[in-house]
Amino acid sequence: MKNKNEKKLVVLLTNNDDDIYCFRKELIEEIINAGYEMLISCPDGNKFQLMKHIEYRYDNPVIDRRGTNVFADSKLFIHYFNLLRKTKPSVALTYTAKPNVYAGIAAYLLGIPVISNVTGFGSVLKEGGLIQKLVMGLFRFSFRRSACVMFQNSTNMKLAEETGMVKGEHMLIPGSGVNTDRYPLLDYPDGGNGNDGAKIVFNYIGRILHDKGVDDYIEAAKRIKADYPNTEFNMLGFIEPTEMHYEKLLSELEKDGIIRYRGSQEDIKPFIAASHATIHPSTYGEGMSNVLLESASSGRPVISTDNPGCMETFIDGETGFLYHGGDVDALCGCIRKFLALPNPERKAMGEKGREYIKENFSRKKVTDAYLEKINSLCR
């Protein structure tokens, strides 16, 4: 029998340390401040070094995030089952595909309530055929047994409703939200028109991955720099192990003066501060793009696609420019429109974007929604 004064345990399961530090840190702190004990299950990474001041228990699973090896996934399921059976948490919070499925099913079998978070179906939907049916079937089995499923955009929630993926409580939250104090309004740099005056700097921030639209970004950089030589196109993020061919390509593009590859950065704020806009060319959509939220919160106009999880983060023509995902001609058109603006208008777009984010995408809205549901389940 549990001691009345013993703290109830909440376990958070996800697949990457970036996900913990960049998007869940405030939630973890709020859960601990509310009197719960916290267990984090996530493969080890450098970002945990930035969380040493937080008291939590830790589990280090082995997750092949993009792999389809049945044996490896079976081992992950067994790991989750044993972890949850041993620790007996009051609530499990699951994020990203494999924790959502395997930890969700393990928790259901053990009678542990689960709050699932859908960060997007984009890469699954593009697969088609048997793989898509299998993965969506696993999502359906897991989500229909969750105490609550939280969706980061209305498109994904509607798809889940129409396909019977959810049958119990579910709700829409503003992505992971953004801590607008952590991403304050930054001074806007001087800038010319891409030919004369100060250099205009664009950032791509994210994993170096085909699905994120990096090939479109690279092609756009080639075309724009041919006409506007006083522009700079940065790329920040790690190269996915499955797509290491980009390593050689980016090295060649750097030599040609087309792309500046900055690698993975612990702190992207200095790069946002030096930039004039963020380009996020995601091909298949997101749950809710944290890159766009953080950039807009910092006062930077954004250029992105009409895909779910991207289009919701800005107002086309007022805080950024929208184009149809995968259309490089349209992306170049947006960049040219941006370059044609006087620099004070670019600055004003960024400031308006900041206000839009503060009003609609505060991280506090997300943490409040989680705490309310956790408290309800624990009662």
Decide if pLDDT at 130 tops 60.
Answer: yes
Contacts 24+ apart (CB under 8 A), 85-88: 85/110, 87/9, 87/11, 87/39, 87/57, 88/9, 88/112
What token pair was written down for 322?
A: 């929208």
End-to-end CA distance of the chain: 17
What average pLDDT does range 242-270 have in this prediction?
94
Q: Which secondary-structure segment (H or E) carries 160? A: helix 154-162
Between helix 290-297 and helix 343-360 the angle, nearest 10°, is: 120
How confident is the model at residue 1, as a pLDDT?
Answer: 44
What average pLDDT does range 341-368 have in this prediction?
97
Global pTM? 0.88
Could you tell me the fold of the domain covering 200-360?
Rossmann fold (3.40.50)
CATH 3.40.50.2000 fits 9-177+362-378, yes or no: yes
134-173 tens-digit pLDDT? 888 889 999 999 999 999 999 999 989 998 999 899 999 9
Domains 9-177+362-378 and 200-360 share a fold: yes
Decide if pLDDT at 127 tops 70.
Answer: no
Instruction: Starting at the earlier edge strand, list the strands of the sheet with 302-305.
Output: 260-263, 231-236, 200-205, 277-280, 302-305, 320-323
Contacts 24+ apart (CB under 8 A), 332-335: 332/220, 332/223, 332/224, 334/303, 335/202, 335/220, 335/224, 335/279, 335/303
53-62 tens-digit pLDDT? 999 999 999 9
CB 112 within 8 A of CB 91: yes
61-87 tens-digit pLDDT? 999 877 677 888 999 999 999 999 999
What average pLDDT does range 98-108 have in this prediction?
96
Q: Which secondary-structure segment (H or E) carries 349? A: helix 343-360
DSSP per-residue letters across 220-254: HHHHHHHH-TTEEEEEESPBPGGGTHHHHHHHHHH
- pLDDT confidence band for 93 (50 / 70 / 90): very high
- Taking the domains of the chain in order of start, what are their residue ranges? 9-177+362-378, 200-360
What token pair was written down for 46?
A: 């450098």
